[in-house]
A and B are shown apart, each in its own frame.
Chain A
């Protein structure tokens, strides 16, 4: 695939490294000649010096043969404009990085109206990643896809788990949990369970649910999620804000320590349920006073990597909670992997991973109204994302009345940005985004899911 990347920064570098290995042809554009030169010397790419919003520059980069444009410059508006230009000129797919939280609430609108394929917000991705680490234990592995809308939770049924020898149909009726079991792997056999399925020890299960439902489910089946009840965040930047909001949404009591009093005021307005503490996060006394010793989860999100590392090392000595360290510079990864830090997050790696995942899925999408394909369980199952553009025989009919094919399950419906885990009574409506998980057949259209 031919890919243009506008902006030669850290994310771009990681991204190119990953995409080169998957045999894509990459052209990078940046205004700074030095940066472009660095890229062309270190990586097997073609470099163009120029402005990514300039039509001539895009032409020189070969936009007419390009399948995907990724805009990751420092300026949000620039990225959006680049993508709009590329989209209007050559109808290639486009990905823009947009960091400013102001745009974040409008992501869906922007994406739809400007015709972008994906808008990524590195801080938001990093915040979700940290929040997930706080919420779930390591036994549960989480896969996010379709732009972070839905999470698939992977876990294994153990001997002392309630699910051992438990029939699937009781999950909804007796456990009263609104979770959907999507895929079961038993003895190297992968299938979608039907209503008479009975769990066994050793089954690897993939379920989907809203975060609150997932919590309740794991509590009931006896997998101790050791979910953090309290959290402390040092640094109230954008990432800190996203994380605090996310944590307080799921009911984790959160404290944010921020040294800039003006920023504190802003945060207070934005985060009514969070304690905002104005003080220097590097001050041990302050941290102890605010209960670092008893906190369940701690993360250092200041703008300076060295401070984050030191803070985490200090917190590790005092507290028994989960500790996450955020590092901006990817060069540090070699040194940091030798340190005794629990989990380390590199936002630029996360962003690059996220885009790479999207590019991989793009490779496989063909015509029809399918938006995306995601490989699950080493490619033995697929999650397909459809957008419903027009009324058809599958819309406005309860799912229970549709004669669905075997080996597929309707995993989720997203309507107006709200996630629905469907039951038999739900129905598809025009404008919905539907995710279907299947183990066998390939579908190209949403109408293919019913038997003929």
Chain B
């Protein structure tokens, strides 16, 4: 383990965070919340100074191998969250540090689970920062760094690999940096288009900004107590559209930009993703027919909730905890499926589910024809053993972590639905679960110990498990 390069990278990330922290200061100045500005300024200075301290020794050799990449990403996300939580504590609006950390991790990992019963009580700067963390965490800090800094070299790919969601991380363009730039360009483009749409839809600038951060980052922090319920139907539909668009594999947008329109229909994953959304949306809108009088209302609520859960955003227009059991079951299943690989969403990813289903088919076929030789295809390409192995490993670890977490948070003696969906909602970066952690409630019911478990789950879920888990491998820390 080369700790120098890890320190150096954490230093860099902290300095970037200092830059990000200037945005809430601007918001604070606009709304004359000078106390908040001071809190953010103090945090920014701490980040900046600590960044310089960590970076005082430039790395001698650029031996940033996969191990260092994973550890650097995991530790950077932890430090990012710790320092991002400071303003909440300093302003006193979330006085307890664990609570503030939960809120910030929930922000950076684009979960959107909150411990606050009253969001509207927060100052504008804090609300803005909460939503802005979604936007930063959505595409990822490292991709941002790679796009801006000439950290060139093949090894910087290891950082991207550790941060990007999906079973196999590819590049659109030969260079890591160009790929990162294109990714961020798409991300910013989507943000700007969405924001314009929201403004036209009648939101004010602050609403449009914070809501679009939560939407394209697939985060889900609302700015009102009732999440997205108080927006007009048009605004809710706009949010639905942009949530679903943000859950699409960014390869599709890349193909659109580069004029390869024929290819966009060839993505098996994206077709399945839309298929699932349409299917679940219609089934739920039928299932909730007794709740809402008009078809339009049923469709709007059904698709908003489906889009919100499958993209792992976690906004809500209604308390879906009150919905019939079938709808709730569908939503819980959608929590696990998650969005497309290569998007800002969380969950297991549609492509992994597809690969797993194909493996199951394969196993069954092998029982019928024991000597059959067949390769599984995905997007017209043969699936490599490597991808299969890592998908299987991911699934195994995912469920192991899931059940261990359910067991641990079970010590709070809450009901099973609460525990099960709380872990599902955090590990998949969704936000609200059912029962006591449903859309109308919050995670404040849990003890600090359980909150720590859930914080870990959120980070592990966002970073695709391995970077967080590798921190617990003793051999990872050995020099040799």
Contact = CB atoms under 8 A, between A and B. Distances in A.
B384 A40 contact: no
Contacts of A254: none
A26 interface: yes
A25 B175 contact: yes
Interface in B176-214: 176, 178
B161 to A, nearest CB: 10
Interface stretch (B149-157, B301-309, B319-327): B149-157
Interface residues of B, number: 12
B174 A25 contact: yes
B467 to A, nearest CB: 18
B178 A25 contact: yes
B171 interface: yes
Contacts of B152: 44
Interface of A: 2, 25-27, 33, 40-46
A40 B173 contact: no
Nearest to B66: A41
18 contacts: A2-B174, A25-B173, A25-B174, A26-B174, A27-B174, A33-B384, A40-B154, A41-B154, A42-B154, A43-B154, A44-B152, A44-B154, A44-B175, A44-B176, A45-B154, A45-B174, A46-B173, A46-B174
A27 B179 CA distance: 13
A202 B173 CA distance: 51
Interface of B: 152-154, 156-157, 171, 173-176, 178, 384
A3 B153 CA distance: 17
By secondary structure, the A interface counts as: mixed
Contacts of B171: 46
B110 to A, nearest CB: 28
A434 to B, nearest CB: 36
Give the interface SS of chain B, mostly helix, strand, loop or mixed.
loop
Given A44-B154, A44-B176, 8 more contacts: A25-B173, A25-B175, A33-B384, A41-B154, A44-B157, A44-B175, A46-B171, A46-B174
A42 B171 CA distance: 14
Task: Among A2, A44, A46, find the residue whose CB has the most chain B CB atoms closer than 10 A.
Answer: A44
Count chain B CB atoms within 10 A of each CB in A26, A33, A46 and give the residue with the most: A46
A2 B174 CA distance: 9
B91 to A, nearest CB: 43
Contacts of A44: 152-154, 156-157, 174-176
Contacts of A42: 154
Contacts of A25: 173-175, 178
A185 to B, nearest CB: 35
Contacts of B173: 25, 46
Contacts of B178: 25
A13 B154 CA distance: 13
A46 B178 CA distance: 11
Contacts of B157: 40-41, 44
Contacts of B384: 33
Contacts of A40: 154, 157
A26 B156 CA distance: 16
Contacts of A26: 174
Contacts of B154: 40-45
A163 B471 CA distance: 72
Top 4 nearest A-B pairs (CB, nearest first) are A46-B174, A25-B174, A44-B154, A43-B154
A44 B154 CA distance: 4
Contacts of B153: 44
A40 B175 CA distance: 10
A25 B174 CA distance: 6
A31 to B, nearest CB: 13
A327 B99 CA distance: 64
Nearest to A39: B154
A41 B341 CA distance: 21
A123 to B, nearest CB: 30
B41 to A, nearest CB: 38
Contacts of A46: 171, 173-174
B338 to A, nearest CB: 26
